[in-house]
Amino acid sequence: MTAARTGPIRDVRIVDLTQALAGPFCTMLLADLGADVVKIEPPHGDMTRALPPFPADRDGCDYGGYFASINRNKRSVVLDLRQAGDRDILLRLVDGADAVVENARVGVMDRLGVGYERLRERNPRLVYAAIRGFGDPRTGPSPYAEWPAFDIVAQCMGGIVGTTGRAGTSGVPCGASVGDLFPGTLAALGVVSAIHSARGTGVGQFLDVAMYDALVSLCEGIIYNFSYAGKVVGPRGTGHLALCPFDVFEARDGAVAIAAPTENQWKLLCEAMGRPELATDPRYDDNLKRVAAADEVRDLVTQWTARHTKREIVDALGGKVPAGPVNSARDIFADPHPRARGMLVEVEQPGENPPVVLAGPAIKLAATPAAIYRRPPCLGEHTAEVLAEAGINAVPAGAPRRGRGR
């Protein structure tokens, strides 16, 4: 952890009305990049506070790993937006904000009296970002606009489930919650872009990212394949439609990725396998031929990889042919790269809990580095602090708890 905010957007203030994963991941990215993110929570807190895994000292810490991972670098304020007084407090906080981010269903914030049009009246330069399952009518209609959605729904409807898994199946979801994480990432980019525009024009705007839209964007390959060739791409296993070898291969102790689609890479792979003659074999001497004979090529490579450990294979190919082991979390913790790159960051915890390790910022800036500088907040821990900074003397109806963290 660093001692203070060091990122390039230290002059940005975000009012964060998000819960669950997509929204908090968006605002976490902004916070890691230096933004002052004030997380507004209802009296019962973000729904993910109650999700495991939990620390040993639960009396001293009111959240688990799910919440911690995506809510570091934020300050927590408790407001009950069903109460007029707390809505007034929110409006005053918005007066000094660059952006508001929320991921409620269509119309929820409007019914509470704190939707985009109301907030824009208070702060014309405000950027208002929404992450919804199927978008917001302000940016385009959808027959599903009122539908709720979670990660699994976006993955299925956006195309990624239908292209993932063993060939001949109906597909499987990704292990990572990309139906939330990718929309959150796009929303963070949208927020920064819109703030840049607002600072030049003095006028903010509304933006939204639909989870369905984001996954269609992520699955761009299935779109052009259908448009160009009328081809419906289904689950393809671990291979590639247009490159070979470009696959995951069995090893003695697990599996490895090997990608050698160019002629030079194929030559180097054949030499490493002890089969240099395959590089000039007329059945396999260019990528298109190898794609046509993908099953044969896979068998040839597997005959070699199955006799060796992951380490032996990577040692033979590293620096010459793109290759890498299939890593578990234990493997990632043992690999020198994540530590050296600041991707495994020890973060203090409240109470008597020891530090935990969270995934660090992947955006690396040389002069103004993104960083984790503040542990995740206990519920309402910063209510008094944030309200005092804004010159607000009112006591929220949400009755914020005093922060228990040390």
Strands 254-259 and 323-325, how do they pair? antiparallel
Contact 198, 205 (CB under 8 A): yes
What's the full length of the chain, in residues? 406
Contact 372, 73 (CB under 8 A): yes
Cα–Cα distance between 64 and 187 in angstroms, integer? 25
* Residue 205 and residue 127 in contact, taking contact as beta carbons nearer than 8 Å: yes
| Percent helix, percent strand, percent coil in the chain, to nearest 5 | 40, 15, 50
Q: CB neighbours of 65 closer than 8 A, spacing ≥ 6?
A: 52, 53, 54, 356
Residue tagged active-site, from 32, 180, 213, 247: 180
**And the tokens for 189?**
């980019």
CA distances from 398 to 24, 49, 340, 384 (A): 21, 17, 43, 12
* Strand 99-102 with 127-132, pairing: parallel
Is residue 151 annotated as a catalytic residue, yes or no? no
Report, as residue numbers or ranges, the catalytic residues. 180
